[in-house]
Chains A and B, each alone.
Chain A
Amino acid sequence: MKLSTFPYGVQKEIFDNMKIPNLFLLSFVSKNMKKLIKSSQMTRFKSISHIVNGKSISPGIDRRIYIPFMTMADNIMEISERREETKNDYFQLNVSGKTMDFRLSNQYKFAEAYFHPLDKEAAIESIHNYLVDIFGDTVDYQYVEHYKKFVPHLPKLSLCHSFWSGNGERIRDIKPIEEYIASSPVLKRTNMNLDTPDLFNPESKFYQIESIYLTLYTNTVPTFLRHFQGRQAFLTCYKWEILDLIEFMNRWKSGEECRKYKIGFHPNTDPIISHSYVVRKTDNRVASVSIQKEAFCFGVWNKTEEQFLRMVA
């Protein structure tokens, strides 16, 4: 069966019926095949909002590259550091000019790349460049890692840092974190547990982070709400005052807090289904407000009051 003898429409239909990890492997077969995949799957790839390079959940594997909200079987690839020589079941692929060892994962058969730890930076860069080449630059590529570990600084790669080790580690000294954030590009996403009476400097890039998952052990909510300029914040607060929230909403209504999109007080990260809303005076934009038990959620719609009412009617 010679794929090249099929008309373009048939080739496209075949590719349309392939899963992303299989298309990814197919792209390595030849330069022409990669070109054909890119041109025929342009619409499909443009619909991918982001691709994450994050921790793997497979045993013995370091990282996985995946499209969020898809199943394990849809992982684009996994990557792992390996000190010893690879064995016979590995094959080599040229990833953006760098030859790397690969094999297929046991269960799902997606690509697993292996490299020596000393080669990590170059390997991560090659893989990232290859992904950008295939899936295009409309996708938001995210690298998720703890801030103390290796973090690549590459064009078209957003950084999502965890400042939390997962065992409830609280940050009591904010200074090193502040310095780290100041020296990094603006982060895409972060999470941290803050147990400190003071928050970051108002000029800190911390407030520009697009999406923040924050646990506050002291009542620093008003400071945070006053300075946050990102799109989403999910706060878990041990102490907070209803007056601070009212003040925040009033500031938003007056147009003072014009850039905020969504604030959620943990644990509610589900869509806001409340019909209670407030309207911003300056541009008539609507924000849904929900207060249920101990959860406060505030989400801004890109809709005027009239459009919002039509939507919920």
Chain B
Amino acid sequence: MSSTEQGTSSAAPAEPTTAPESAAAPEVPESFYYVHGKDKVVHKVSAGALQHSALIHGMISNLGYTEEQAKANPFPFENIDGDILQMVVDWCNQHKGKPTPPEDTNLPKQKEKLFDLVLAVNYLEIKELLTYCCKQVAMMVKGKSPEEIREIWMIPTDAEDEAAEKEAKKRAGKEAAGETAAAAGDAK
């Protein structure tokens, strides 16, 4: 398992202006956690950066891990591609403790990468990044005709929707019949 050190050290807390220098509060060491995606590459991320993710923040808030325990137990996100998780980690680090700007122009321009990022960000519950991503997805169809929109977002036609619905009903019917037959077999 390889490892990348993505974390940034925390800034020293601001000293109270009226207090003497010797009375400054001791610097609290920042805690770090570890995450990996489908590619098993482990990313070290500070708790401050991870606060952007409601999912991870919820997971770590009650753990009380030591550095060693955290390192030994990286959070596995097997449903997220390594490069996408890297993008997410980079974004969290860049925006750690900062107010998020109204626009983010550093999102992937490729359709499929943006799509994967949306799913990852939605899963990790990173609200601000999700908003940026959704804005970018919305921009993809700005000024496009309905047919062009269909192509970009791969929206099925009415006929395809109807066929899929019929198929789903058929499948559900078969499954229900199978369950009934199995139940009857059990009863015998």
Contacts and interface: CB of A to CB of B under 8 A. Distances in A.
A10 interface: yes
A25 B144 contact: yes
A91 B146 CA distance: 9
Contact of A109 (B122, B130, B143): B143
Contact of A6 (B111, B118, B147, B150): B118
A31 B152 CA distance: 18
B155 interface: yes
Interface in A10-26: 10, 13-19, 22, 25-26
Nearest to A25: B146
B24 interface: no
Given A4-B156, A30-B161, A13 B150 contact: no
Nearest to A31: B158
A104 interface: yes
A218 B149 CA distance: 58
Contacts of B153: 1-3
Interface SS of chain B = helix
A13 B134 contact: yes
Nearest to B135: A17
Contacts of B154: 1-4
Interface string B106-149: 00000110110011001000000011001101101111111101
Given A14-B137, A22-B141, A4 B155 contact: yes
Classify chain B's interface size: 20 to 34
B155 A33 contact: yes
A9 B144 contact: no
A13 B153 CA distance: 15
A32 interface: yes
A14 to B, nearest CB: 5
A179 to B, nearest CB: 45
Contacts of A19: 142
B17 interface: no
A127 to B, nearest CB: 15
Chain A CB within 10 Å, residue with most, of B114, B138, B150, B161: B138
Nearest to B156: A30
A291 interface: no
Given A13-B130, A25-B146, A30 B158 contact: yes
B146 A29 contact: yes
Contacts of B134: 10, 13-14, 16-17
A168 interface: no
A25 B161 CA distance: 19
A22 B161 contact: no
A138 to B, nearest CB: 25
A31 B145 CA distance: 16
A26 B149 CA distance: 7
A10 B130 contact: yes
B130 A26 contact: no
B149 A25 contact: yes
5 contacts: A17-B137, A25-B146, A26-B149, A31-B158, A104-B145
Interface of B: 111-112, 114-115, 118-119, 122, 130-131, 134-135, 137-138, 140-147, 149-150, 152-158, 161
Given A1-B137, A28-B146, 19 more contacts: A1-B140, A2-B153, A10-B122, A13-B131, A14-B138, A18-B141, A18-B142, A19-B142, A22-B143, A25-B144, A25-B145, A26-B149, A29-B150, A30-B156, A30-B161, A31-B158, A31-B161, A32-B158, A102-B145
